[in-house]
Chain A
Amino acid sequence: MAEQNSTSETLATSGGVPALLRVDEVTKIYGSGHTAVTALQAASMSVDTNEFVALLGPSGSGKTTLISIIGGLLAPTSGSIHLGGVDVTGLSARELTRFRAERVGFVFQSANLVPFLTARENLLYVAGLTKMPKSHARQRADQLLEELGLAARAKNVPEQLSGGERQRVAIGRALMNDPDLVLVDEPTAALDTALGRQVVQLLRREIKDRGKTGIMVTHDLRMVEYTDRVFEILDGHLTHVESPTTAGH
């Protein structure tokens, strides 16, 4: 009970605590017995505030599993995740939902905006999942859209936006609730190289300017130059690599 209290307190007072992500010996095994598959083997990593790191690896390597566990979408078989002092693995399903709304920003592979909400409403939607006052939310959404060069597109629905614009709205949505951690899943998958670079550059700038922690999953080596450090996953084993060019496909 005492632990639960401290958890919700920490959740509530997210502002002041420096967001430091610690992944300790996280293992994920799917299935059991003969059919058991180890997706992640004792993965450990540490990412500081104001850091933007890349997570490289071919498909099936376990990078999706790791980022899902870090983002509170998947429970590890063993090991723990701490974000700004909160033991993520100790949260209930309900607390995890709130944790994701308040402390984590997601940028999905294909933007995944709500197709029937305008760019601005997509941002306001996630604010509605927290206790952010409405007037503050509107102000913040307009400010983010302005920064992301989308002020003129605020009233457009995703269908009326280009791929790059959609991904920028998704970045705005990820930053809307002022999260500690921004998780980015293959942001350039649906974009050409030039646009991909622009989007990743923008991501880096937004994360750095705000002193956030960012993790970007990618298999695109050209994008790692915008990150501070590179982790690589191969067959469930996570390693910190000095020179990302060695990362295999």
Chain B
Amino acid sequence: MSTALMLATAEIRRGRARFSAVVSALSLIVFLVLVLGALADGLFFGATGAVRSTTATAYAFSAEAEGSLVRSRLDTKDVAAFAQAPGVESAGPVGVLLTGGTGPQGDIDLSVFGIEMGSAGTPTTLVAGRLPQPGENGVAAADQQLQQSGIEIGSIVAVGEVQAEIVGIVTDTAYQLQPTIWTSVDTWRAMRDAVRPELIGQVTAINSVALVTEPGADLTQIAASVADTTVLTAEATGLAIPGVEQQNATLTSIIYTTLAVSALVVALFFALLVLEKRELFAALKALGTPTSRLGVSVIIQAVVSSVLGVIIGAVVSRLFGLIIPASVPTLFRTETLITIGIFTVIAGFVGALFSLRRIARIDPATAIGGAL
């Protein structure tokens, strides 16, 4: 083992130029994958924040809505019915509006969530100021992203003629990539009526009911307590947002295909390296080096190269993240980095395995007589 380590590390140390080639290739791949990962996470988190960053563990929908908050139509009286359902701790109304509005610097894209502050569905990610009080109309908490549009505590956001004063800032609450303002159901309904006049008069209509359920609660049974409704977990509600699951699947397959390519890069590099060292390996075998030690030395080198590739790729991708325009949703998460790092090292390990057969086939007898 120590001889394998000696071979592996000495070659990397004294042949830096050569190993920098494979480390650079791996760094580029890791960089690419991490940026893709950041885009995937950015899209996912940007689309689903409003249903993840609240107290709700589940959402109720009208049956035909297929889990879509904007398509769902429920009534305020359903809130009380759900609150009585077995396994439900609390329930709160949710009104959703995707719209354009105006802020201090002009037009902005918004999602407006009307909720009953303090009940199920209240955001949990307040970073500054306060949430509106229960029953307090004409005020809202704004997603941190809106700060880029000049919105601060005290700013006025208007949808049509309806205004709300911002009293607090929350984070990670975007919905379908549009930053959310959180307000009362009444203010939300006034904003809805301002942009969708055909809905004026539907004074008890809401989109969904946010639920805080007991651990292990049966969602089907909860849905059964109100006719023509379905109940999804908060996570499933996020995935049911149009496009989210598809985007996730597409980007994830690109990421794992690219990681498979990194295994090929490592395989190719070490195959060439072994080919080049055929004569040396034959001599080392003749001197009594077991094939397994030569294999282990190549695997150590592949793993070390992959680890260096991950470190460099991670640093470069984070630096790159600083110059990505704010309009592109990206999110660099440590969890994603760890997952991709582990997969890259495994890919490097697997790539090196391809060289083992080649090493095993080297005949030590070729070391004598200059037969090569």
Contact = CB atoms under 8 A, between A and B. Distances in A.
Interface of A: 64, 67-68, 71, 73-74, 94, 97-102, 104, 106, 108-110, 112, 114-117, 121, 124-126, 128-130, 157, 173, 183, 185-186, 189, 217
Contact of B368 (A71, A101, A128): A71
Given A98-B288, A100-B286, A128-B6, 15 more contacts: A64-B368, A68-B369, A73-B286, A108-B283, A108-B286, A108-B368, A109-B370, A112-B283, A114-B280, A116-B11, A116-B13, A116-B14, A117-B6, A126-B288, A185-B370
B287 A117 contact: no
Contact of A64 (B287, B364, B369): B369
Given A121-B10, A128-B2, A112 B368 contact: no
A97 B290 contact: yes
A73 B364 contact: yes
A129 B289 contact: yes
B3 interface: yes
21 contacts: A71-B286, A73-B364, A73-B365, A74-B365, A97-B288, A97-B289, A98-B288, A100-B364, A101-B289, A106-B367, A109-B368, A114-B280, A116-B11, A116-B14, A116-B15, A117-B7, A125-B6, A126-B288, A130-B288, A173-B287, A185-B368
Contacts of A157: 14
Contacts of A110: 370
A109 B11 CA distance: 23
Given A97-B290, A125-B6, A157-B14, A68 B280 contact: no
B3 A129 contact: yes
B371 A64 contact: yes
Contacts of A98: 288
A97 B365 CA distance: 12
Interface of B: 2-3, 6-7, 10-11, 13-15, 279-280, 283-290, 364-365, 367-371
Contacts of A183: 368
B277 to A, nearest CB: 9
A186 B2 CA distance: 31
A37 to B, nearest CB: 15
Nearest to A75: B365
Nearest to B289: A129
- Report which residue of A99, A101, A108 has the largest number of chain B beta carbons within 10 angstroms of its beta carbon: A108
Contacts of B13: 116
A130 B2 CA distance: 11
B21 to A, nearest CB: 16
B2 A112 contact: no
Nearest to B284: A114
Contact of B287 (A68, A74, A106, A109): A106
Given A68-B368, A101-B287, A106-B367, A112 B6 contact: no
A173 B367 CA distance: 15
A150 B371 CA distance: 29
B270 to A, nearest CB: 15
Contacts of A126: 287-288
B20 to A, nearest CB: 15
A99 B286 CA distance: 10
B372 to A, nearest CB: 10
B288 A112 contact: no
Contacts of B289: 97, 101, 129
B369 A109 contact: yes
Contacts of A109: 368-370
A125 B13 CA distance: 16
Nearest to A105: B287
Contact of A115 (B280, B290, B364, B367): B280
